[in-house]
């Protein structure tokens, strides 16, 4: 029997998108359900529970933003990944402010879908325990970012820094948390620390370049 925590609903008015995602996740030990619009999605949510929703932003009738608002209010534990077309990244970032945890930009590959779903579900499986190592603190922090608990995510990241203050990854993540919290100057400071520790660290380099570029500020920080 499939674990109910691995049930996923795909909400998109394009049949090809629903089929592509369903086929991509066939071997991922996930139970896949689909909805053709926002109204059908909400009806299914009232009938059963899902761990994750893959949600198109632009649909006729009830659009993805309206669905997201309803989910955030009524089903705060369910994770939502936005599906967005090229040119609507700004809308996707606005959706993340409303509670979405990630976005996938069309056109995407089946592997991109599998990777995003695997990462989200893996973060949900981590439990908070004493004596965690550096990597687990960072994974917990990412899960807490997904849950929109930036304060707790910052605490986990700081715990990782206490374990290994000479490693760059946690400082990059701390910068991303500050950026998501609307603190670009603090974000830049921590991205620079990450680069000082590891000048080859591409995530921090890209984040620092993006947060310094007004034309790219609507893009999501790289975790």
Provide the CATH number for the domain around residue 44: 3.40.50.2300
Q: Which domain holds residue 107?
A: 4-124
Residue with tokens 């930036």: 150
For residue 142, the tally of other CB atoms under 10 A from its CB is 22
Token couple for 122: 């893996």
> Which residues on neighbouring strands pair with residue 34, listed in sequence order?
10
Q: Is 91 helix (H, G, I), strand (E, B) or coil?
A: helix
Among 74, 99, 124, the domain boundary falls at 124
In the chain, the number of structural domains is 2
Q: Which of the listed residues 99, 124, 149 is the one where a domain comes to its end?
A: 124
Residue 188's alpha-carbon distances to 32, 106, 215, in angstroms, are 40, 29, 16
Do 163 and 99 reside in the same domain of the chain? no
Q: Are residues 56 and 86 in the same domain?
A: yes
User: According to the model, what pLDDT value does residue 90 have?
Assistant: 63
pLDDT at 86: 58
Across the chain, which has 223 residues, the per-10-residue mean pLDDT values are 67 94 87 94 93 91 90 86 71 71 83 86 65 88 81 87 90 90 87 92 89 62 70
Q: What's the confidence (pLDDT) of residue 35?
A: 96
- pLDDT score for 2: 39
User: 200: which residues sit within 8 A by CB, 6+ positions away?
Assistant: none
Find where tokens 């998501």 sit: 180
pTM listed for this prediction:
0.61
Determine, yes or no, domain membership for 164.
yes
In angstroms, the CA 184 to CA 169 distance is 18
- Give the C-alpha distances (Å, rounded to integers) separating 208 from 5, 37, 165, 173, 219: 36, 38, 20, 12, 12
For residues 191 and 87, state if they share a domain.
no
């Amino acid at each position: 029997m499939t674990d109910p925590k691995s049930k996923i609903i795909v909400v998109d008015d394009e049949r090809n998108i629903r089929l592509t995602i369903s086929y991509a996740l066939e071997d991922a030990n996930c139970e896949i359900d689909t909805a053709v619009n926002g109204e059908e999605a909400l009806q299914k949510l009232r009938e059963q529970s899902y761990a994750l929703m893959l949600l198109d932003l632009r649909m006729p009738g009830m659009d993805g933003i309206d669905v997201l608002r309803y989910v955030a209010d009524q089903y705060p534990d369910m994770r939502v990944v936005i599906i967005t077309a090229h040119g609507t990244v700004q809308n996707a970032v606005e959706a993340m402010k409303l509670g979405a945890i990630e976005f996938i930009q069309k056109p995407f590959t089946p592997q991109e879908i599998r990777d995003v779903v695997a990462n989200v579900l893996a973060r949900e499986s981590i439990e908070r325990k004493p004596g965690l190592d550096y990597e687990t603190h960072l994974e917990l922090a990412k899960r807490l970012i997904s849950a929109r608990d930036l304060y707790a995510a910052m605490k986990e990241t700081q715990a990782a820094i206490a374990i290994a203050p000479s490693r760059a990854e946690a400082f990059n993540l701390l910068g991303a948390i500050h950026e998501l919290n609307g603190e670009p100057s603090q974000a830049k400071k921590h991205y620079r620390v990450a680069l000082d520790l590891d000048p080859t660290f591409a995530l921090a380099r890209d984040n620092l370049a993006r947060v310094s570029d007004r034309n790219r500020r609507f893009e999501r920080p790289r975790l």
